[in-house]
Every structure is written in C-alpha cells, then in structure tokens.
Structure 1
Amino acid sequence: MNNTIVHAIQQSKRLNDDYKVRFFRLQDPVQLADLTNLLQQQPHIRVSDEIQTQLAELIKLQHPAERLTDEAVQERIAAHLGATPAAAYGVWVYYPWLSCVVHLLDENEFIWLRTSRNKQKITEAERQLLHTRKLGVIGLSVGQAVAVAIAMERLCGELRIADFDRLDLSNMNRIRTGVQHLGVRKTVLVAREIAEIDPFLRVICYEEGIHEGNIHDFLTQGGRLDILIEECDSLDVKLLARHKARALRIPVLMDTSDRGMVDVERFDLHPDLPILHGRIPEDITPEKVRLMQGPERMQLVDSIVNISRLSPRMQSSLQEIGKTITTWPQLASAVMLGGAAIAHVCRELGLDRNISSGRYYVDLDHIFNR
C-alpha cells in the first residue's frame, strides 16, 4: 500500500468531535476581522449566502394578506435593511465539521421565520412558552429521532443529550446518518444535526453517558429539566434516572420501539408515583440491577415491558438473543414513530396540557392489519 493511502488512513483515525458553531456579526469590527482571517487562513471553506432569499420570505410572511410584486418585495427589503449593507445584516455561522460558513437571519428573525409554518398548530405565544423549556434525552438511538423531532418543532430552548457510545455500522438500520460518520460520538452526531437545522438552539452534550456521578448535573445544572426522555439500553440507568427524576419532580417519558409503546410518568404531579407504573419493586436499586445476570435480568425486562404484550416478532426475537442475534431488534420506522410520539407528548406537557401517567400504544399493526 502506498504512503499516500497509509497517511490518509492515519489521518482518518483522528476523530473530529466538533459540534459547536461560531457566530460572526459583521457590524462588530472585531468579528468582521475574525471572519476575514478565518477565510484567508482556510481558503477551502465554502460560503453560502442566501440572505436575500431569507429576507424576501421574511417580508412576505410579515404581510400575508398582500400580494407583493418582486419589485415591492425588494423595496421593502431595502427599507428593512436601512443603512445596513446586506452582507453585514444578520449573522454568519461557521460549521467547522462542514468547512462551511452560512449567512443567516439573526436569532429572533431566524426562529420566527423557521417556525412560521408551525402556526397555528403552535401559536406564537405557545412557541415563546416552549422556548423556556429544558428537555433532556438519555440514549441516542431512539433518542436521535426524539431529539431531532423536538429540535425541528422547537419544543424547547435547551436540550441536553447523553450517550457514551460511538456510531457503529449496525446502528445505521435506525440512526439516520452517513457511513462517513462511523466512529463519531452519537452525541456529536445529534448535536451537529440540530445545529445544521437551528444553530441557535442550545444543546449540551454528556459524552460519558449517564451515571451516578453526573445524573444530578444532567437533571439540574443550569436549571432543572422540565421533561426527561429516557431511551437508554442500560437497565440500571433506567432505574437511576427515574429515582432521581422523581425526587426532583421531573416527568419521565420512554418509547420502546415496539407496538408504538410510550410510557408517561408524571412525577411532576405525583411525586409518590411508583416508578414504571409499579412494575418494579421499590427495593430493586440500580446497584442490585448491575449484579443481575441471565434469567433474573430477563425477568426484570419482563417486569418493565411485559413481554406477553410485545409484538409476536419481538417476542420471538427475544428468544434468539445470544443465539442468532446479540440484542433486541429495532426498526427505523418504529424508531421514527417513537420520535414523533414522544415529541407530541413533550409539546403537550410543555404547554401545560393534561396527559396522565400510563402506558400508551400507537400500534400500526393493529391499525392497518385488522
């Protein structure tokens, strides 16, 4: 193998975990100089400037009852800009992992325009209320679909995400990403995807996953979470997260990616609510779960999900774990459905609407195969 290929392979092993963008507002001379230096030092950076298109859309949406001609739109853009040159209007956003700088409307106009087609399913007053919410997602396989749906609808102003794992090829039956991202942290993949949708949404990554040492910070640092979404595989973390969330009166949601099963635990309303609807005895601690093996561990899984209520294919798959498969299966369609269902519940809870604790099913087989 020649030296060029060997060098390229070695370089590829230096995993890039950048996920934070940089903002440049060119009316500030210092930031103008910083962006100029960046582009001079890295001439390969691609520049995307569609600010005129964004401004035209902004003007039209500000006057929905008027049929504006192109000339009228341009006149109103000029009035909107005033003495500010178009190149200096808004903000330039640098995405280091894309080697790209994008010219966007600044935060308030960007959010207003990006979410404008949510109205009136989500009103402006409701959007502003949701902006105050802090949500957390533990586990980023199902959790990726959840986090992206939350970001797209902008159901919060801050999103905390946690997963210790990196992307494997077998994850890509349900995680929407490209093969060029193999080996990248799942937190980084999700944070990047959200930043490419909405660079102003605050995303905080917990790259070690969740454990006893950081669960309190995850739930409280910078303000207590309004909703916790738990989608991890670790049984001990499932219990740990619920015990801590219950003590802090944080509601917990979980999708199981089979029969559209969604669990809602309203610890915010009922701080004495038994975890997992009372399916787990209170004396079963995360420490005890970590010591469980074999049949005892499977009995705990049965207590949590009720294997007899799972789909027939999932029930048969569980019998094959350790024989023909290594873990339980998840399909992309079920994961996406779960992301949509959890996002729906997050929106309702975030708007202080009433959803009771319980186990719910959005069972597509039942709906379509009657």
Structure 2
Amino acid sequence: MSKQDETSGVSNAMHTYRPSFFRTQYTEDRVKLESLRSGGGMVFESDEIKRQLKELVRCRYPSGQLSEVEYDFHIHELLAGRSMTEYGVWVYYPWRKTLVHLLDEAEFIEVRTNRNQYKITQAERDTLATKKLGIVGLSVGQSIALTIAMERICGELRLADFDELDLSNLNRIRSGVFNLSVPKVIIAAREIAEIDPYLEVSIFPSGLNTTNYTSFFTDGGQLDLLIEVCDSFEVKIESRFKARELGIPVVMDTNDRGMLDIERFDLNPDRPILHGLADDLTPEKLRELSEIERLKYLMKIVDADKLSERMKRSIPEIKRTISSWPQLASAVVLGGAITTDVCRRILLNEFTSSGRYYMDMEQYIA
C-alpha cells in the first residue's frame, strides 16, 4: 500500500492537508489561479513578496545597513525582468481558503533557516534535508513534529495516529476548538504546511498496524529515524522490532520527568528492544497477553519506581477517578524540544549512544 493510499480515507475537502502551488509565469497555472479567485474558493489573500525579497537581500548582505535604493537595486536584479506578481509561487491553503505569495523553494528555505546559522550550518541543513523521519502518536508527537518542522531537521515527515481531536486534548495539543473531531494527523500536517509548504508530509490516519508497517517504514525510501510516542503498547513493541530489523534508530519521549529513550538499532542491530526491559517479549507473545500482564510489562518498561511522585499517585486512579494518565502542556513542549535536539544530533552523526536520559525540571530547578 502506498502512502497516498493511506490518505485515501481522509481525502475529502474537510480533511485535505496539502496546499496547492501556482506559478503565474505559466499560463496554465495563471488560468487556474484566476479561476480560484473568481470562483469563491478564497476569502483571504496575502502578498508580502517584496518584504520577503528584501529579507532575502538582507540575508545575502548581512554586514551593513543597506539603503532603500540599494535594496531596490538588488531586488531588481533578483526579478531579472519578471514582474513582482510572477516571482516566486502562490500557495493556496484550502482549509483556510487563503492564498499566500511566497518565495520559491530554494530561496524560501534560505531565508526561513537563516537564523539557524551557525548552530546548524548550511552544509548540515542540506544533509538534514535528505532525511526521512517517522512519528507515531500525535499528542506528544505534535509538539515534536512542529519543532522538527520549525528547525527543519528533515526533508520528509511521516505521521501516524488513528485518533481525532477531543476537547480534553487541548490541555497539551496546540490547536483550536474549531478542530474538534478532526484527525490529529491532519491537524499536525496542516500546521507544518503553514510553517513550511515545501516540507514533504505523508499521513497514516489509521495509525500503525500489521498491515502498514512496511509502507510507513520503507515506501518512498527507508526512514532514517523513528520517533515513537504513541499510547498503544502493541505498536510500541512491534514498531521496535520492525525498526531493529531495518536498522533504524528509535527515540521515545515519555512525558514524565523529561524521560527520553534512545535505541541505536542502526549501530547495534542485536540490541534488545527497550534496553532489555521487555524481557523475552515477542510480537507473537504480545498478542497473547492479558491486560494485567501488559500493564506489568509497561510498568517495568517505564521503570515505575522512577516515575514522578504525582504520576505515581495518578496511576492507581486510572479508570477510577481519571480516564487516562495525566499529561501537561509544559512537559509536552519540553519533550518536543529535547527530542528534536537529540534527533538532529543523531542524524548528523554527532550523538551515537543508546540509553535512558532524564531532563527533570523539578530536579534541576528546585
């Protein structure tokens, strides 16, 4: 099954997540754009291309303050005989009914990532642009996906989650009440497109399961890294066996005490999954476990004795006074930052270790 097949169930207009591109130097695109404008499909249009061109010039001449005459001269050179309207690309976001005039891809990326220099060099940026990342779980994963997109540490993101947005999710998922019942993968993919329409995003709105692991991991090229932050115990285990089989590193943020797990199956293909905490668990044995047995495994995997005190007090209340384990926006945002930082260093071969790490704010700021 192709990645496009995976999105077929959410391909209607309400669930679209890919913008459309129009380059008005081409007659066909110009006709389509005029039809869009006249057909009532657009309620807002933003044309700040001159501002972007001016910033492009500033990025290329950073040493001094240019005069307006000098800016106009350099912009005139960039236009190279084209009109301002024909320069760059017009991007249409159908879920917002909004048209935006932007720099085309290479110049857009040059300007958008300019403030990364030299924490991320141009050579590193170009290397990262070749990387493919998969994220399973779009609660904690949404924060990770958006941070990755803003920092632009990859060229492609594959997002998997079967769930839709509920009101209670808004304590930690950056969205709005108008998105209630919208699939979480759609919400994340749209936000990424609004940050960077050139970043390739594929969605798996049925989540991960035994029918689509191969598609998620390998279609369109094998993943360079898997970020697993889902609730499903089965997917946690099965996805690691698949990652280990393919030699793909796995990163997991647990959202309590800033706990981060790193498993370098690319460097150590015989490494036991989850640092050996899953004992002799196999995908076959996994299907035979009772709910109580799964909970016992889960408590061993997260090292229950090292959970925060508030999380320890919360676990006995699950299915009694609360419906699930608690998560806070501050911890989710921290997880997005930590995970993105570690993933960038893994992709650039700057970090080669496996293990469990904690970034516990209550420990460091007390």
* TM-score, normalization by structure 2: 0.95
| One-letter code aligned to 1:244 | K
CA distance in 2, matches of 1:91, 1:20: 15
Q: Deviations over 1:64-118 (max 9, x none)?
A: 1132011211121112212100000000000000000000000000001000000
Q: Which residue of 2 aligns with 1:94?
A: 92
* Alpha-carbon distance in structure 1 between the residues aligned to 2:13 and 2:53: 37
Query: Is 1:205 paired with 2:203?
Result: yes
Deviations 1:160-189 (A, max 9, x none): 000001000111110010000000000000
User: Quick check: 1:321 aligned with 2:318?
Assistant: yes
Which is worse superposed, 40-49 or 304-313?
A: 40-49
- Identify the residue that residue 168 of structure 1 maps to in structure 2: 166
SS of the aligned residue for 1:292 comes to coil
SS in 2 for 1:86: coil
* Aligned amino acid, residue 363 of structure 2: H
Match of 2:157 in 1: 159
Residue in structure 1 matched with residue 182 of structure 2 by the alignment: 184
Q: 1:43 to 1:298 in 2, by over 3 A?
A: closer
- Pairing partner for 1:23 from 21, 30, 33: 21
RMSD: 1.2
Amino acid aligned to 1:328: W
2: CA distance between counterparts of 1:208 and 1:36?
Answer: 36
Q: Structure 1 residue 303 and structure 2 residue 290: aligned?
A: no
Letter paired with 1:304: I
The answer on 1:225 being equivalent to 2:223 is yes
Aligned to 1:118: 116
Distance in 1 separating the partners of 2:197 and 2:297: 41
CA displacement at 1:319 relative to structure 2: 1.1
Work out the number of aligned pairs and report it: 355
Matches within 5 A, 1:124-139: 124-139=122-137
Native 8 Å contact 2:41 2:97 kept in 1: no
Q: Which residue type is aligned with residue 98 of structure 1? A: R
- Paired with 1:126 and 1:297, the residues of 2 have a C-alpha distance of 42
3-state secondary structure, aligned to 2:252: strand
Unpaired stretches in structure 2, ≥5 consecutive residues? 1-11
Could you tell me how far apart the structure 2 residues matched to 1:287 and 1:141 are?
28
Conserved? CA contact 2:49–2:101, under 8 Å: yes
Equivalent in 29, 53, 56 of residue 54 of structure 2: 56
The corresponding residue for 2:332 is: 335
- 8 Å CA contact 2:48–2:101 kept in 1: the answer is yes
Partner of 1:356: 353
Identity %: 52
Q: Do the aligned partners of 2:146 and 2:188 also contact (CA within 8 Å) in 1? A: yes
Is the partner of 2:14 in helix, strand or coil?
coil
Matches within 5 A, 1:266-305: 266-282=264-280, 284-305=281-302
1:260-309 deviation digits (Å, cap 9, x = unpaired): 00000000000000000000123x23454344334322211111101100
User: 2: CA distance between counterparts of 1:177 and 1:111?
Assistant: 25
Which AA in structure 1 matches 2:121?
Answer: T
Partner residue of 1:344 out of 319, 341, 346: 341
Deviating above 4 A after TM superposition, structure 1's stretches of 4 or more consecutive aligned residues are none
Superposed counterparts of 1:7-46, under 5 Å: 16-42=14-40, 44-46=42-44
Question: Retained in 2: the 8 A contact 1:15–1:183?
Answer: no
Q: Give, in whole Å, the separation in 1 of the partners of 2:114 and 2:163.
A: 35
The question of whether the paired residues in 2 share the 8 Å contact of 1:256 and 1:262 is answered with yes
